[in-house]
A and B are shown apart, each in its own frame.
Chain A
Amino acid sequence: MSATQAATDEALIGRIANGDRLAMQVLYGRHHVRVFRFALRLVRNESVAEDLISEVFLDVWRQAGKFEGRSAVSTWLLAITRFKALSALRKRKDAELDDEAAAAIEDTSDNPETAVAKKDTGNALRNCLTALSPEHREIVDLVYYHEKSVEEVAEIVGIPENTVKTRLFYARKKLAELLKAAGIERGWP
């Protein structure tokens, strides 16, 4: 299907508002993987992330009539996902975690030092990206993976645009620190 033949996300939302189940399937097909990955990076649990995407798209089904099209549908989806992920994290926090502890959790893959031992800078970078705090992880993912602009990230995260820029800058600094601690120099900072 060409770009001109494909229904836009906004058109799909219009049809969903009228109870069109097929439009919902199309929208889900387009966005569920990215929504899942964004949720998974935030909650770090596949089962919870899967539950979240069901909840996110069910919200879309219920709220489609209220979508005003002031932002891209993908931005709207990520904002809902973030809200639900943080709610899920808060529920879990009572039982086991807080944000700091979550940030400190070791990934099951190689830690940065091990990666350096393997002389694999890329792998080390990915491990360091995983080791960032949830706040830094989400902004890095939104800008680099989800390709959101300053304005869109501000809308999703609910912070001013200048804060988006400085938060990403500090996330990158933290990343550089982690890499440096692992013995990797990249020429910056």
Chain B
Amino acid sequence: MTAASKQIEDREPTEIEALLPFHAAGTLNLRDARRVEEALANDPDLARQYAAIQDEYAETILLNESLGAPSTRAMQKLFDAIDAEPVRKPASSFSPLQRISEFFSSLAPRTLAYSAIAGAVALLLQAGVIGTVLVKDRSGSSFETASFQAPPAAGTYALIRFAPDANAADITKLLDTYKASIVSGPQAGMFRVRFGDAPLPKQDAAQLLAKVQGEKIISLVVAAE
């Protein structure tokens, strides 16, 4: 090592001196760049050093550019290795919304227009199908509102009040005997009961109700529509 180089090795760079190469490469922040510019304007030695740095900068670029580029072998080797890697599932953090957005943005405008038309037609078809199903369901629906009154089934109707001591077994037996069923009630202590499956002539109906009135568990029978 020469005496001169020993002197060089011994000296520490000043703060601005250490920033000069980064200033030449343009990688300093605005504040440091201004500090360096001011120092260069006021210090001829620093300016001389900066000129040497600019030469180094230019020659380093030339040197690296002269190194050429890799052959296609490197790329081939890389993609062979990638093909040999296990297939990877998309990361869960990749938002579905982003995926949809990317899909649509990847479509050509014409494709997008056709897609929009197809979408509109599909919507109309869907609306038609839903409408048809609703109308069809309403025509034969078993759904009824609370206020809906179905037409009464055929038979002879009466309002009956059972005796206070009548039990469920007695009532069931009586209904079986007369092929009757309770339609509604109780309302004001009376049940609406239907006898048989067909309306009886008025006289036969009166006889039937008189017979029912005679049953021990019946308090009152009144003909009803």
Q: A residues within 8 Å of B by Cβ? A: 14, 17-19, 21, 24-25, 28, 32-33, 36-37, 40-41, 46, 49-51, 53-54, 57-58, 61-62, 65, 121-122, 125-126, 129-130, 140-141, 143-145, 147-150, 152, 165-166, 168-170, 172-173, 175-177, 180, 186-189
Contacts and interface: CB of A to CB of B under 8 A. Distances in A.
B56 A54 contact: no
Contacts of B25: 143-144, 147
A33 B66 CA distance: 12
Nearest to A147: B25
Interface residues of B, number: 53
- The prevalent SS among residues of B at the interface is helix
Contacts of A173: 5, 8-9
Contact of B18 (A18, A37, A166): A166
B51 A143 contact: no
Given A50-B70, A58-B81, A143-B21, A18 B91 contact: yes
Contacts of B61: 144-145
Contacts of A170: 9
A152 B26 CA distance: 13
Nearest to A130: B63
A62 B85 contact: yes
Contacts of B55: 121-122, 125, 186
A32 B75 contact: yes
Interface of B: 2, 4-5, 8-9, 11-13, 17-19, 21-22, 24-28, 48-49, 51-53, 55-64, 66-67, 69-71, 73-75, 77-79, 81-82, 85, 87-91, 94
A130 B59 CA distance: 11
Given A54-B77, A130-B63, A32 B82 contact: no
A165 B64 contact: no
Given A121-B55, A149-B22, 12 more contacts: A49-B70, A54-B75, A58-B81, A122-B59, A125-B56, A126-B59, A129-B59, A129-B60, A166-B18, A172-B56, A176-B52, A177-B8
A172 B63 CA distance: 16
A123 to B, nearest CB: 9
A27 to B, nearest CB: 11
Contacts of B19: 165
B23 to A, nearest CB: 11
